[in-house]
Amino acid sequence: MMSPIPVNLAVEDALSESIIRHLLEHANRHYAIGTAYGRAGFGYLQATIRGWNSAARGTPFIVVTDLDQHPCPPALIASWLPGGRHPNLIFQVAVREVEAWLLADRINLAGFLKVSTKGIPADPETLPDPKATLVSIARRSRSRAIRDRIVPKSGSTAQQGPDYNTCLSEFVSTMWNVTAAATEAPSLARAVAKLAVFTPRWEDA
Residues of the chain with pLDDT under 70: 1, 204-205
Question: Given this model, what pLDDT does residue 35 score?
Answer: 97
Question: Given this model, what pLDDT does residue 39 score?
Answer: 85
End-to-end CA distance of the chain: 25
Instruction: State pTM to two decimals.
Output: 0.95
- Give the start-end residues of each E strand in 129-180: none
pLDDT per residue as tens digits for the range 19-42: 999 999 999 889 999 999 998 888
